Amino acid sequence: MSVPTEQLLVLSALLFSIGVAGFFVRRNVIVVLMSIELMLNAANLAFLAGARHHASLAGEWQAEGPVMVTFVIAVAAVEAAVGLALVIAYYRRKRTVSLDQLTPTLD
């Protein structure tokens, strides 16, 4: 694939800002968690774009980018599991997943 690195970074920026928009606009906790996953994916794409660029410049492959991506994927899985467990615990108390109802429960 001869797509330049800049275009990969532009795609990553687009996905990240869509995730940011979803994070701030939506009130459903589950959709907010999905937006966070989108942002993590955008970061992964940027890591790999950098790794490919570096490999093409140096002529040899470096493991840093892909290793970092595997760590990000592990942390994303952890974040999804903990976040969704919190959502279930929250739903059990309040019978809703709307973030607007969250503040009064903290008292």
State the angle between helix axes of 29-58 and 5-25 in degrees (0 to 180), rounded to the nearest 10: 170
The three-point CA angle 87-92-94 to 5° equals: 90
Is residue 63 within the footprint of other proteins (CB under 8 A)?
yes
Nearer to other proteins (CB atom), residue 38 or residue 102: 38
Q: Which is nearer to other proteins, 8 or 107 (CB)?
A: 8
Q: Between vectors from CA 21 to CA 50 and to CA 43, what angle results, nearest 5°?
A: 15
Q: How far is the CB of 31 from other proteins (least distance, A)?
A: 5
Which of 80, 94, 97 lies closest to 33 in space, CA to CA? 80
**Of the residues 88, 104, 106, 107, which one makes contact with other proteins according to CB under 8 A:** 88
3-state secondary structure of 98: strand
CB of 102 to other proteins, least distance (A): 14
Alpha helices, DSSP H only, in the chain? Answer: 5-25, 29-58, 64-94
Q: Is 94 in the site for other proteins (CB under 8 A)?
A: no
Q: Does 61 bind other proteins (CB under 8 A)?
A: yes
Q: How far is the CB of 104 from other proteins (least distance, A)?
A: 17
